Amino acid sequence: MEAKSIVLGVEGMTCNSCVQTIEQHVGRMNGIHNIKVSLEDKNAVIIYDSKLQTPATLQEAIYDMGFDATVADSNPQPVLLDTVFLTIPTQSSLSSKQICSALLKNKGVVDVKMSSDQKTAVVTFIPSVVNGKQVMQMVPGVDLSISAPEVTPGTCESSSWSQASSVVLRLKVEGMTCHSCTSTIEGKIGKLQGIQRIKVSLDNQEAVVVYQPHLITAEEIKHQIEAAGFTASFKKQPKPLKLSAIDLERLRNTQTKGSETVLKETSSMNDTKTVVLRIDGMHCSSCVLNIQSTISALPSVTSIVVSLEKKSAIINYNPNLISIEVLRRAVEAVSPETFKVSLPEEYDNVALFPTLVSTLKSPLLALKDASQPLTQVVVINIEGMTCNSCVQSIEGVVSQKAGVKSIHVSLTNHNGAIEYDPLQTCPEDLRSAIEDMGFDASLPAQPSPEVQLESHRTEPPSKVSPAHLVRQQTKTVSKCYVQVTGMTCASCVANIERNLRREDGIHSILVALMAGKAEVRYNPAVIHPSAIAELIQELGFGATVMENCGEGDGILELVVRGMTCASCVHKIESTLMKTNGVLYCSVALATNKAHIKYDPEIIGPRDVIQVVKDLGFTTSLVKKDRSASHLDHKQEIRQWKRSFVVSLVFCIPVMGLMIYMMVMDSQLSDAHTHHNMSSEEMEALHSSMVLEYQLLPGLSVMNFLSFLLCLPVQMFGGWHFYIQAYKAVKHKTANMDVLIVLATTIAFVYSLVVLLVAMAEKAKVNPVTFFDTPPMLFVFISLGRWLEHVAKGKTSEALARLISLQATEATIVTLGPDNVLLSEEQVDVELVQRGDIVKVIPGGKFPVDGRVIEGHSMVDESLITGEAMPVTKKPGNTVIAGSINQNGSLLISATHVGADTTLSQIVKLVEEAQTSKAPIQQFADKLSGYFVPCIVAVSVVTLFAWIIIGFVDFEIVEKYFLGYNKSISAAEVIIRFAFQASITVLCIACPCSLGLATPTAVMVGTGVGAQNGILIKGGEPLEMAHKVKVVVFDKTGTITHGTPEVTQVKFLVEGNQLPHNKMLAIVGTAESNSEHPLGAAITKYCKKELDAETLGTCTDFQVVPGCGISCKVTNIEGLLYRKNKMVEENNIKNVTLVKIEENMEESVQPALIIDAELPATRTSQKYSVLIGNREWMSRNGLVVKNEVDKTMMEHERRGRTAVLAAVDGVLCGLIAIADTVKPEAELAVYTLKSMGLEVVLMTGDNSKTARSIASQVGITKVFAEVLPSHKVAKVKQLQDEGKRVAMVGDGINDSPALAMANVGIAIGTGTDVAIEAADVVLIRDDLMDVVASIDLSRKTVKRIRINFVFALIYNLVGVPIAAGVFLPIGLVLQPWMGSAAMAASSVSVVLSSLLLKMYQKPSPEKLEFRARGQMRHKSPSEISVHIGIDETGTGSPKLSLMDRIINYSRASINSLFSDKRSVNSVVLSEPDKHSLLVGEFGEDDDTAL
C-alpha cells in the first residue's frame, strides 16, 4: 500500500459551505486518508491510497459536485510514513484479524502486519493525519500498548526482531553509468517502508542497504532495484551482527521505543561518550564505508568517522546502551570479518580531543566516508531574480532537497552558495532544481574549491598533497579578449586558432575576423593573457590584451598620482579594504594604477575615488576607448592605400615599356609576314631598336629599366607580404601572402638569373624577362586589399554607430526638499551610480537608463528601438541610454549604469553576434586551410606539364605564345611560357573571397537587424532561422497584450434613467481602490471614456476575494458637470462604440426613474455600488435575468470575464473584460503561414480562452494548460519529429523553451531571463518583427550563398584558364590579369554583402493589402486543442455529417465573396477584418482587437 498526496486546483467555490461540502463528500470516499480544502488558495490537498484512487478519479468526484477541478501537479508526492509496535493483550475479546481490520478502517492507517505469534502488530500510519497515541485508542474495548514484542531466545522470531535494527545487505548493482543512476536507486529504495538507510557506490558498483526485515525482505529490495532497470545480485546473504544476548535486549528496547522517545534521545546527547578504536585490515574506501554504514546503523551509536590513513575509528556512542567491548566485537563482525580492533593507549584519555568530540556531537556526520569531504559548498550563478521574494522561493525549495544542509542566495551577486552532502546530491541536480523554478542557473566555469569540514581530521590541513593542489588549479578556467590586427582572410583566422590550440594551458579560442577580436579561454596557472598576445604576435599579427573587455560591473581602474613609496600603496590598499563594499584592491606603484573590485549595491565608483582623494592623492579614471576605432579599419585602409600608391608609381612606367614592346613586336611580325624579311634582317632591326640597345653585352636598356623599376616595388611594396608569408611558413601553414610572395619572387629571381647568365655569356640576343610581373601583381593586390578594408569598415558601421551613441559625460544634480536644485556637477559617465539624479538638457543624450522624476519632454529613441516617432516622457516613464532628449529638460533617476544599460547590452549582443561564427562559415574556414597547398601544387604541375608539352610538341607553344619571335631560342620560349602559366595560377587563386563570404554578410545582416529593432545574437541563429518549419507562440504577453482590458460595456438600464457617463463615473470610482487587475482595467477604461485623470471619492470599500466589491461613491457630480460640454459628444461617441440595448424586454422598475433625476443644485449624492459575479449579486439579493445570464455565458465561452455592476440595488451594467489580442497578431500569423511555416499556440491558460484567442488570430493547432517545464518537452517533441522550431515568448516561464528551441525569439518588453535565453530579441513589442527576423535570415543566407558562388566561380573558372587548359580556344591570361581577377573577387563578395544594407522590413500595409480578403477567423471546428503535453487533442466540437457539409459549403461561398462576407458565415458571431479595424463595439463582436 502506498499513500500519496496531490494538490487539485478547485474553481467555483464561493464560501465555507462549499469547502465543507467537498471535504465531507470526498472524505467519505474509499481510500481517502485526509482532505484539506482552501477557499483562499482555491485548492484541495488530498492524501489518498494510490491502489484505490487516482488523481483522475478524485478530479472527477469534484467535477460531479459542480466544481471545476484541475490537477496542479501531475506527479503525486509520496507521503512520509511512521511505524508503531503495538502489544495485543492476551485476554483480548477480539481476534488478531478483527483487530487488523478495525485498525485499517481508520483514516491515516496505511498498513498493519502481525507477528507470527499474533502478540505484536506493526502499524504503519501517516503522522500528519494521526499519531501513535490515537492509534492505540483505535480499537474500542482492547487496550493496546506501545512496546517491544516478547522474544524468547531460540525461537525463529527472535532472530528477526534482533535484526530489526541491524541487518545490513550488500548488493552488486550492474548497469549504473552516472550519479543520476545512483540517486535514482537511492531515491526509489529509500522511500520503501522498512528501509532505514541506503548508500549506492558508482565506483564499486554496489549498494549497501540497512533495513528492517520484519517490514521488507532482501528479495523485495533486489526486485525493486531490478524494476528500476538495473541488474542486482546479493554479494553476501544478509546476516545479523554477532552480539551477546544482553546487547540484543538493549538494542531491541531502544529500537522499539516509540519514535517520540528516540527523538528525545538523539536531541539530548549529553550522556554520549567518544572512543577511538584502532582498526587493522582496512584496504580501501569500501572497507571504510562498510564499517561506517554497519556501525552507524546501531541505535546506540550517534556517529562514527573512520580514517583509512590513520587506521582508526572515532565513535560517539551512548554508554547506557552499549559497551566499548561490544562495539569492538561489532566492528570485527563487519563483513568480510577480517578487521582487527584494539584500543590504543594514547587514545585512552579522550579529553585530549575536545575538537573531535565537539564535531562528533553532530549526528549529520554519521554516514560519511572519511576520504570524502563531509559537506561541500558550491556557488551557482542565478540569473533572472528580480526581488527578495525570488530569493526566498529559491531558498525555500532548494533547502527542502535531500542532502542540502544550508543555502544562502544573494540577489546582488546573482548567485547562491549551497552547502550539500555529496553522497546525497550533486551540483548539477541543484542547478537543474533552480532552473525548474524558471530561473537561469549555471555552474561557474571555475568550480569553487570544495569547502571541506576539515575539523574531523587530526592532521593539519596544510598537509594536502601538491598533486591535489595542481589538480584543483587546473580546474580553473579564465577568459580574456585579445585585439588582433592584420588579419585579412579566413586563412589568418584558421592559422591563429590552429596554432594557439596546440599551446599548453589554452582550452579554446574563437577569433572574429570582423571585430578583430579573439576570445581565449585559458588556465591562469599555466599561461597568462600577455603570453597569449605574444603567441599571436609571433604568427605575424598585431595583438594587444583588451583590459576592459568582458569586465562586468563593480570593477574600477584608477590612475593614482602622488604616491611616493610602498607605504602610500599600503595606506591606500588598507583604507579601501576597510571600506564597506570594497571586495578587492590592488595598487601598483610603478604604473600608478589601482585595480578595485566593489559591490555596486553598497558602494559606487565616486565613493571609492573620494576615499582615495581624502587620503591626499589625486585620482582619475583610466579612460576607456569608447570610439569604435578598431572597427573602422582606418589604419589598414591607410597602410594599403600607401602600398597601392607606391606600387602604382613604379608600375606605370613598367606598363608603358611593356605596351611599347608589344606594339613593336606586333609591327615586326607584320613586317616579317608582309615584306618577307629574312630572319637575319629581323635580328638586325630588333637590336637596332632603342630599348633593345645593349648597355653591356647581354643587358638591354629595356631589361635594365625594368629591373630598376621592379626592385623598389619588390622590396618596399612587397615588404608586408614577405613578413606575413615568412611567419606563416615558419608555423607550417600557408595563406594568401605565401601565394603572392611565391608568384612575385619566382618571377623576379628567374628574371634576374636569366639576365646574369646572358651577361656572363655576352649574349647577342637579349633574354626575355618577367620584371614587369611583380609591380603589376602588387598594384592589383594592394588595390584589392584597400577596397576590401574600405568595405569591411562599412559593414561594421552599424556597430560603430551603436558604440558612438553612448554619451561620455553626465550632469549629476543634488536635490533638496521639494526637488530644489542644490548643486550640479559634470562627471564621467562611468562614475554615474545607481540612484543618482541626472539632468538631461534638450538636445542632450541620456547617459544611462533611468526613470523620469521631473519634467516633460519628447524623446527620440529611433536609433535604439527603430520607432520613428518621438516618445512622450513624463514623471514615472523610463528612458534608455543613448536616446536623444528633444524639447524639455528632464531629471532622471539612474536605474542601470555602466555595462548594465540597455545600449551597452545591445552593443554587447551585436558584437557577440558579429564575432560568433555561422556553421556555414566553419566549412569555409576549413576549405581555405587546404586551399593554399592545393594551389601551389596545381601551379607546380602546370609548370612541369607545359615544359613537357613544349619539348614534345613545340608548335602548340609557338602558336599560342604572345610575342614569340624567332630571335629567342625554343627552350627559352617553352620555359618562359611554362613560368607564365604557373605564376598566373598562383596569382588568380584567392581564398580571401571564400573567407569573406559569410562574415561580411552576417555582419551586415546583424547590423541591419539592429537598426530595424531586431537583435540577432550571432551567425548561428541568423543562419538557423531560415531552416525553421514551425513557429510556436506563447499566448500571454506575446499574442495578447498580457494585461486585461475592457472589451465591451452593456448598459442594462435606459440612458434617461442613469446616464451612461454617470454609470461609468460611478463604476470607475468604485474600482479605483481595487488592486485586482480586472478592477484596474475597469478604472482605466472609465477614465479613458470620460477623458478624466481623476474620478470621484470612494468610501466603505470592501472586497470579497473570488466574488466582488461593495462600496459607497460620492463626488462624481463635479466630474460630470465639468465635462458638461463633452457629455453630448461622449453620448454620440458611445452610440457608435457601444450598441446600447435600449429595447429591453422587461419593463424598468419605477425606482430607477426617481433615482435618475439629478438635482439641479450641486449637492453631492452617495451611491451604493456592487460590482462582481453572479454569486455576489445573488448574495446581495439581486436577481440576474436570463438574457443577462446568457450574455455572460457567451462571453465566458469566448474566454472573457463578465462582471456585473449594480448601483443603489439595481443591476445597471455588464462589463466584459479580456486579455486582448495585439492588433498585428492576425496579420503576423497569416504572413508566417503564407511563408510556408506551421504556426502553433502554446499556453498555460485554459482551453476555452486558448481556443478563443486562436480563432481570432487564425491559428489551428493549440496546446493549452501547458506547464513551463512541459513547454520545453513540447518543443523537444516537435524537434524529435524532425522539425526546426522557433519559439516566440516573453516571460520567465518561456525562457527554458526559448533556450531549447532552434531559434528562441524574445519580445523586448519581456523579462530579462527570457531575453538572456533567446537567440533573437525584438526590441519593439511588435509581432510583425517575428516575420521580419525570419525574412532577414532568409535574405542573409541567400546572400551568403550568392557570395560563395562568386568566390568559387572565380577560383573554379580562373585556375583552369590560368593553367592554360583553355589555350586551344585562345584563352590565355597574363599574371597581372590573374591578380586583377583575384582582387575583383574579394571586392565583389564584400560589395555583394553590402547590398544587404538595402534590406527593407516587410511593411504591414503591403502585407495587409496582399492578404486582403484571405484572412478569416477560424471556426471552433477547425481548431485542434491539445491539453497539457499529450498529443491527443480534445479536438473540436463534434459536428454531424450534415452540419459539416453545410459548413464547408458556406465556407466555400464565403471565399468567393470574401469582400462582402456573409452574415451567416462559418465564423458565426466573430467580427470581420474591417469591423476589427474600425473597432465597433458590436454586441457580440470581439472588439478587443
Can you tell me the distance from the alpha carbon of 160 to that of 180, in angstroms, rounded to the nearest whole number?
Answer: 34
Q: Are 824 and 842 in contact (CB under 8 A)?
A: no
Dig out the grid coordinates for 1293 from the structure: 516561464
Q: If DSSP codes are grouped into helix, strand and coil, which group holds residue 845?
A: strand
How far apart CA 1171 and CA 21 sit, in angstroms, is 27
- According to DSSP, the residues that pair with 879 across neighbouring strands are 850
Nearest to 512 by CA among 544, 487, 546, 549: 487
* DSSP-derived 3-state class of residue 1252: helix
Strands of 804-958, DSSP E: 809-815, 821-828, 837-840, 849-854, 857-860, 871-873, 878-879, 884-885, 890-896
**DSSP state for residue 391 in the 8-state scheme:** H
The Cα 401–Cα 420 span in angstroms is: 10
Amino acid at 396: G
CA–CA separation, 266 vs 255, rounded Å? Answer: 13
Catalytic residue chosen out of the listed positions 82, 1034, 1155, 1325: 1034
Cβ(274)–Cβ(360) under 8 Å? yes
1105 contacts 1176 by C-beta, under 8 angstroms: no
Cα–Cα distance for residue pair 929/497, rounded to 1 Å:
11
Please choose, from the candidates 256, 254, 338, 243, the residue with its C-alpha nearest in 3D space to the C-alpha of residue 300: 254
Going by their DSSP bridges, the two strands 77-78 and 3-11 should be labelled as antiparallel
Q: What is the DSSP letter of 632?
A: T
Residue type, 695: L
Count Cβ neighbours within 10 Å for each residue of 1245-1276 and write b for 16 or more, e otherwise: bbbebbbbbbbbbbbbbbbbbbbbbbbbebbe
The cell for 1030 is 514551425
Distance CA(1395)–CA(1343), nearest Å, equals: 9
Choose among 762, 781, 656: nearest CA to 709: 656
Half-sphere exposure of 1069 (CA within 13 A, CB side): 27
Type of residue found at 1053: V
Helix ranges restricted to H, 736-805 = 736-761, 773-795, 797-804
Residues 1311/1290, Cβ–Cβ less than 8 Å: yes
Radius of gyration over every alpha carbon of the chain, rounded to an integer in angstroms: 43
Rounded to a whole number, what is the distance in angstroms from the first to the last CA of the chain?
55
Backbone conformation region of residue 148, classed left if phi is above 0, alpha if psi is from -120 to 50, else beta: beta
Q: Which amino acid, 48? A: Y
Whether omega before 1223 lies within 30 degrees of 0, making that bond cis, reads no
For residues 370 and 1085, give the distance between their C-alpha atoms in angstroms, rounded to a whole number: 69
Distance CA 1167, CA 1152 (A): 13
Residue 55 φ/ψ, nearest 5 degrees: -55, -35
Quick count: other Cβ atoms within 10 Å of Cβ 665? Answer: 16
Rounded CA-CA distance 211/824 in Å is: 75
Spatial contact of 491 and 735, defined as CB atoms under 8 Å apart: yes
Cell 472609465 found at:
1086
Please name every residue paired with 1320 in a beta bridge, in sequence order, or none if there are none.
Answer: 1016, 1305
Is 1189 tagged catalytic? no
What are the catalytic residues? 1034
